[in-house]
Structure 1
Amino acid sequence: MAAAGDLFSSPGAGVHAPLAERMRPRTLSEVVGQQHLLGAGKPLRVAFESGRPHSMIFWGPPGVGKTTLARLMADGFDAHFIAISAVLGGVKDIRDAVAAAQVAQGQGRRTILFVDEVHRFNKAQQDAFLPYVESGLFTFIGATTENPSFEVNSALLSRARVYVLQSLSEDELQQLIDRALDIINGEGVAAPDAAVDASSGGKPEEGGAPAGVAALRLDPAAREQLAQWADGDARRVINAMEVVSESALSAGRDLVDSAWLETALSQNLRRFDKGGDAFYDQISALHKSVRGSDPDAALYWLCRMLDGGADARYLSRRIVRMAWEDVGLADPRAIQIANDAAATYERLGSPEGELALGQAVIYLSVAAKSNAGYMAYNQARAFVRQDTSRSVPVHLRNAPTRLMKELGYGHAYRYAHDEPHGYAAGETYLPEGMGKPNWYRPVSRGLEGKIAEKMAFLRQLDEEAAKKGGS
């Protein structure tokens, strides 16, 4: 557990502190981004101005200001601030936080308890907060990159409001670049020590520039490239500015262009959350692009996920699933190609095997589509789940013994191969008393168009057999 002073200040912080620490906002007006929550009349602005803090959960990607907003709320309400990291913390830290909050309460002060990565706590640990939230001992603020609907237990979720934080736009990242340059070049105003949530920018601090670097500048192309490289993450752009400024100092440069920026940053990896919402949003986009018959979009999302570090084996499994779910029997070749692509990747690995996955999503995208088999399967499963255990009709039962034959097992069964058209017209294969559900309804596209024609022909034979039976 870390109290406010432990987390948000450090001895000797100042010109030698990390750039992100010197850029931390001191007031709401200095926060860059999240104007859908902080603008005039918006929910968080109203909460700040009301003077009545409430428990809340900040949900958003890394580097968008979750810790900063919690800290500003504590400052705004003159509350004792306690921070716990769910990655490193446990029940003992929760107990320590409760004890510290009780001391603060005895001194007439409110407490705000901030739990970073709250989704990392298990249900029992999350439940431990409930009695103290209900009693008002502290105001609970959780931060998570995961969907709280799935990762925060319902009891705690019902006692907190969820605020969705957004990635910063390129314009907002450009504002942070300007503020960072002001600090690096020593043009800012001194600010008190504070800690890093490297999320949004505060006023620049005097004396931030390393000696010997005069008026560091980024040319327009480099600024745009850096903002794109940050991919909406303020922490990333601020840390990158620190790396770039140190590299420029070492090389005696005062102008950073695109080539130098690429050299300083070494690589351009996009933010990719391998287990969180970004992951599932992107796999959803890939699946819907295939279903929507857009091969370019399908390739884009596949390459985005591969570029971001997604497990190609996972993607190959999802591609096979797409073939069965959205192409189905309209084009059975799609299923074969998807399986072959998965096998090819297993043999070649990355990056060679990724080409097979790419061509598989192209084929699935342009193939005839049908979800008739998928829908029929789901309807059959749902029916069986809620239905009684119906007996197998006697004429369909196997009769390997004399007793079974005497009981009529298999009696009057019609062998389809001996029937006209290879079909026992009028025969029933469902349990007695169960009407024909017609779950499978083939579409008119691709091979299923031919299947639909055959099924229509077989129905006609059944109707003719029924008429003969009736007469």
Structure 2
Amino acid sequence: MDMFQQAHQEDAAPLAWRMRPRTLDDYLGQPSLVGPGKPLRRMVEAGQLRSMILWGPPGVGKTTLADILAHASQSRLEHLSAVMAGVKDIREVVERARAAQGQGQTTVLFLDEIHRLNKSQQDALLPHVESGLLTLIGATTENPSFEVNSALLSRARVHVLKALDDDALIQVMRRALSDTQRGLGQRNIQVDDEVLATLARAAAGDARRALGLLETACDFTVPSSAPQGPGERLEAGVLDDVIGHTASAFDKQGDAYYDLLSAIHKSVRSSRPDAALLYMARFIQGGGDPLDVVRRLAAIASEDVGNADPRCLPLVMSAWDAYLRLGDYEGQRAIAHAAIHLAVAPKSNAIDQAWKKAQAFVASQPRLEVPTYLRNAPTKLMASLGHGDGYRYAHNEPNGYPAGSQHDCWPEELPVQAFYQPSDYGQEERFKRIMDWRAQLDRTADGNSD
């Protein structure tokens, strides 16, 4: 039984279920996919359904779209969940598809949470998608390029669905309020735009959640008279109790988790403290571990600030320690303290660049050896081999620096490389002046004062 048969039998079903669109013309959102002349619209009009993966956040209509596409193509629709179904279930679908094919009917397999497909499921499914026995429509909230088998991915086009904007969610709710057959239209409920806008914001792009909130809110309407006759009115005052804590959590292994950490990092790097705080608050409010934030800040301290402000790394480590000592509530302020300092601090990636250059150079020099005068000499044998001979103890030298290129600690057989190039920002500008002064001492010691 598909959704179009069930809709007539489940009058008591939740509003979100009853209001699921049945045609592309009823489907709201995703104009880049279902609008006039767009890929899925053209597919339906041509009557040729191709295997695809629908990638998008919860509540944007992935399952509904699959139902609509299958119905429009006059295909049988099979539903499976990659979490619940096993190889046996896939084989049973294949057998039913073969039987239907013998009667001239095509089969569409809607595979929910396709990113959780295991290897045995993939092996059982792949040849039948490849042969065309099954037209696959997969749904996922995760990036399929990371999560879906490459062989399967190559046989299905990925379509990206976006979270619905507030205007689309308001339109979804208005439609539910006016629909007398499947929605709430018979109750003649009056709702101001501001009330629906509040519900839309709380739904955060999720049409299913928006309709769920609306349905709950409409349990608290008051009698009202209107030009259309007696009815009900939904007041803004009930929304606080209906919405409650609206923070939407995210899968800690999913894209949103890493996207938020990326946004924090890039905001700090771009010296935007307010943006950094915004994404930090969203990350923590959505269930992210504050320690994941402070770990990222520790990386930023060396990668993006470095010696332009050497105080940043110890400040982050202190914030880390403060969080562990103070607990979550007060500790979050210590992390925010560090994040603001890093964002405002002068920036330099000179350390990051120097380290990458050093790694690349060493990789190209597999026979690199330590100069004899730098080697350790803990035994008489090692001393007799000249280990440590000629080493100049810096603290015994003028200015605490053993000047001269012959004491640059570099292997004699290799050309000297300048990995670290300090910037002109913050404390690093002072480092640059110190390094330039020492280079001049080297030139003087070598008899070249130019």
TM over 0.5: yes
C-alpha separation between the residues in 2 aligned to 1:389 and 1:67? Answer: 60
When structure 1 is superposed on structure 2, of 382-391 and 94-103 the one drifting more is: 382-391
Q: Which residue of 2 aligns with 1:460?
A: 440
C-alpha separation between the residues in 2 aligned to 1:303 and 1:224? Answer: 23
Q: Which residue of 2 aligns with 1:335?
A: 313
Q: Which residue of 1 aligns with 2:33?
A: 37
Query: 1:131-142 residue pairs with structure 2 within 5 A?
Result: 131-142=127-138
Q: Which residue of 2 aligns with 1:226?
A: 199
Question: What is the Cα-based RMSD across aligned positions, in Å?
Answer: 2.4
C-alpha separation between the residues in 2 aligned to 1:102 and 1:384? Answer: 60
Query: 1:60-79 residue pairs with structure 2 within 5 A?
Result: 60-79=56-75
Task: Report the residue type matching 1:438 in the other structure.
Answer: A
Residues 1:238 and 2:227 aligned together? no
C-alpha separation between the residues in 2 aligned to 1:286 and 1:371? Answer: 17
Deviation at 1:143, TM superposition (A): 1.0
When structure 1 is superposed on structure 2, of 380-389 and 58-67 the one drifting more is: 380-389
Query: 1:167-182 residue pairs with structure 2 within 5 A?
Result: 167-182=163-178
Q: Which residue of 2 aligns with 1:191?
A: none
C-alpha separation between the residues in 2 aligned to 1:395 and 1:253? Answer: 94
Rate the CA distance shift 1:115–1:336 in 2: closer, same or farther, 3 A.
same
TM-score normalised by L of structure 1: 0.88
Residues 1:446 and 2:426 aligned together? yes
Query: 1:252-331 residue pairs with structure 2 within 5 A?
Result: 254-270=232-248, 272-331=250-309
Task: Report the residue type matching 1:17 in the other structure.
Answer: A
CA deviation map 1:241-293 (0-9, x unaligned):
12112343899992222221222232322354433222222221211111111
Task: Report the residue type matching 1:242 in the other structure.
Answer: E
Rate the CA distance shift 1:388–1:240 in 2: closer, same or farther, 3 A.
same
TM-score normalised by L of structure 2: 0.91
Task: Report the residue type matching 1:35 in the other structure.
Answer: P
C-alpha separation between the residues in 2 aligned to 1:458 and 1:131? Answer: 69
Q: Which residue of 2 aligns with 1:161?
A: 157
Corresponding pairs, count: 442
Q: Once the two structures are aligned, what percentage of the paired residues are identical? A: 48
Regions of 4+ moved over 4 Å: 6-12, 249-253
SS of corresponding position for 1:75:
helix
Q: Does the Cα contact within 8 Å between 1:329 and 1:373 map onto a contact in 2?
A: yes
CA deviation map 1:448-471 (0-9, x unaligned):
1111111111222223333469xx
Task: Report the residue type matching 1:135 in the other structure.
Answer: S
SS of corresponding position for 2:110:
strand
SS of corresponding position for 2:417:
coil
Deviation at 1:418, TM superposition (A): 2.2
Q: Does the Cα contact within 8 Å between 2:362 and 2:368 map onto a contact in 1?
A: no
Q: Does the Cα contact within 8 Å between 1:181 and 1:216 map onto a contact in 2?
A: yes
Residues 1:216 and 2:216 aligned together? no
Task: Report the residue type matching 1:230 in the other structure.
Answer: A
Rate the CA distance shift 1:408–1:302 in 2: closer, same or farther, 3 A.
same
Query: 1:415-430 residue pairs with structure 2 within 5 A?
Result: 415-425=393-403, 426=405, 427-430=407-410
C-alpha separation between the residues in 1 aligned to 2:23 and 2:308? Answer: 60
C-alpha separation between the residues in 2 aligned to 1:267 and 1:370? Answer: 40
Q: Which residue of 1 aligns with 2:53?
A: 57
Q: Which residue of 2 aligns with 1:383?
A: 361
Q: Which residue of 2 aligns with 1:352?
A: 330
C-alpha separation between the residues in 2 aligned to 1:150 and 1:409? Answer: 52
Deviation at 1:315, TM superposition (A): 1.4
Rate the CA distance shift 1:131–1:387 in 2: closer, same or farther, 3 A.
farther
Task: Report the residue type matching 1:442 in the other structure.
Answer: P
Rate the CA distance shift 1:127–1:387 in 2: closer, same or farther, 3 A.
farther
